[in-house]
Structure 1
């Protein structure tokens, strides 16, 4: 159903873009047919990019993946920019007049009479709008691609926990989410993230879901650098929704253990400094329920000490409601990508309690990372990637 709805939306977007960029700017003939054929081919490419990897076990060539996802972003911004220009276009159609000439040209003269339009007013306005929309959209997508493919921001975030033992003051947790290893983000992407985390010298590393978009056979080499993550207390992982979009979730969890990354599957572990401790807890992503592997807060919190701080790893911010009900002090999440491409963050914010950063739900603090990678278009606008270093503070 999701694919059908998305396909219908993409179809309408392409139809509108065709109307404004091709039909309104050209006359009937070979040029219009050629441009229409090119746009249709790009529409088919976008649909194939969305459907082929998820509906079949095959993958598109990498260059086609790049082309498909970049066009996805470009057509989205063409659609939005042209919509914004609609009021301007309507006003101009009413008030703007094209230059005209006065008299018939003399025989052999190159002059054009003023009574003869140099160009049809509607076509002139349509072409002007098309150039403006194209320039703005290409600029936005180019900037967004440079942001998405560039190094993540490293954010230092102090967090005060009411039940944290003073022995843990200054304890640093590196939070990284939504790495999204896949055809467009491979081993160099992982190596850069690992290097940046290690340079921050955290006490603990938390990978809060959506690490991979493929199987171990496809992406095992890309994930290999995770074995080089270095911290005093180790690296921990919880599943995101994308871990359940592949058929070998269990294989990935085993592979991560082999790489020295400890999955917390509805489980907890005590982090100790001398006689002091806090409980690190992890719950599975909500999508895991479709595989009989959903979140289980009762099991995850079993055996924890209610008198000491509890830090929860949970991929989706929406899980904070259950976290607050169970007395969690701090939940670390990702999933939202900070919206990834403005203005789509408004839609994400409508279904999640927080888009990015630190907030509070009842007595539970929620920290949401924008993620270190991207999903779909390799484009980030208004939501740069990040790796967050949380410095815990006692009351």
Structure 2
């Protein structure tokens, strides 16, 4: 289990957020993984729970019963905020993917009490705003997340973040968002106080390397990113250039990787807990 603390001058009470991402659910998903997550949540009692995308492994998955029960259990612990990722809009395996949007998944998320499915919209509670969005299949899979594609698609989203609220942005991929905000300080996303993401699978680094790299050397670099960039920035752990966190992924080697999936059990299944404190 990991813990981070961020500080703010904004008028809020201290609170705790749990973050998971990259569940990569499929019908044979192991219940014991869900049970471990729920156990960690119950022990740590977060005020809010976030899931930052890749809920499904292949977006044409129709048997969602186990997943639905898991999300209901989360929502019984705390208000749960969810965004989609690239796997939630593509079906197939390995290098054979096609675009597919799962309306059943979206309907399920919209119908669970205490769950907030964020699709270019926001919710404000206790002076804390949660804003979430996702970009297109084309951005992720056709052009491999280029910065130019990000800039073009970001014009279609309409956050309305206020200077007076503590603003948490949920977006699956951290690959371009930090550079975009740095280069476009006038954009409303620049009012974000904390950015939560997943997608990078810890930059394909084992925890024994990534943890000291992040904590001692203040580096969030990884070995390789999903868009096949070597030594990518913003790949794992705490982001130091502005407040953000990239969760390592509940699943590192998903079912769609076929042979490699059997090695996923070698990796930890830990929830990240983030505390926000008023200075």
Mark the CA change 1:235 to 1:323 in structure 2 (over 3 Å): closer, same or farther.
farther
Mark the CA change 1:187 to 1:222 in structure 2 (over 3 Å): closer, same or farther.
farther
8 A contact 2:2–2:270 mirrored in 1: yes
Q: Give the structure with the higher percent helix.
A: 1
Q: Give the structure with the higher percent strand.
A: 2
What is aligned with 2:82?
A: 237
What TM-score does the superposition give when structure 2 sets the normalisation length? 0.71
1:388 corresponds to 2:272 = yes
8 A contact 2:223–2:232 mirrored in 1: no
What is aligned with 2:201?
A: 337
What aligned pairs does 1:13-28 form with structure 2 within 5 A after superposition? Answer: none
Structure 1, gaps ≥5 residues long: 1-153
**Mean Cα displacement is larger for which, 243-252 or 349-358?**
349-358
Q: Which has the larger radius of gyration?
A: 1
**How many residues are matched?**
230
8 A contact 1:265–1:300 mirrored in 2: no
Mark the CA change 1:242 to 1:159 in structure 2 (over 3 Å): closer, same or farther.
same
RMSD of aligned alpha carbons: 3.1
8 A contact 1:210–1:243 mirrored in 2: yes
What is aligned with 1:369?
A: 247
* Cα offset, 1:289, TM superposition: 5.1
Counterparts of 1:290 and 1:335, CA distance in 2: 11
Q: Aligned to 2:16, which of 162, 165, 172?
A: 172
8 A contact 1:331–1:365 mirrored in 2: yes
8 A contact 1:179–1:211 mirrored in 2: yes
8 A contact 1:187–1:223 mirrored in 2: no
User: Which protein has greater RCO, CA pairs closer than 8 Å, 6+ apart?
Assistant: 2
* Cα offset, 1:259, TM superposition: 3.0
What TM-score does the superposition give when structure 1 sets the normalisation length? 0.51
Counterparts of 1:158 and 1:290, CA distance in 2: 31
What aligned pairs does 1:164-313 form with structure 2 within 5 A after superposition? Answer: 164-165=10-11, 167-169=12-14, 171-182=15-26, 185-214=29-58, 215-230=60-75, 234-246=79-91, 247-260=100-113, 261-272=115-126, 277-285=127-135, 287=137, 296=154, 299-302=157-160, 304-313=161-170
8 A contact 1:283–1:296 mirrored in 2: no
Counterparts of 1:297 and 1:232, CA distance in 2: 35
Counterparts of 2:88 and 2:13, CA distance in 1: 32
Mark the CA change 1:176 to 1:269 in structure 2 (over 3 Å): closer, same or farther.
same
Q: What's the CA shift string for 1:202-226, capped at 9, x where partnerless?
A: 0000000011124352333344221
Q: What's the CA shift string for 1:165-196, capped at 9, x where partnerless?
A: 2x322x00000011111255244432332332
SS in 2 for 1:301: coil
* Cα offset, 1:164, TM superposition: 2.8
Mark the CA change 1:331 to 1:249 in structure 2 (over 3 Å): closer, same or farther.
same
Counterparts of 1:383 and 1:186, CA distance in 2: 14
1:357 corresponds to 2:237 = yes
What is aligned with 1:159?
A: 6
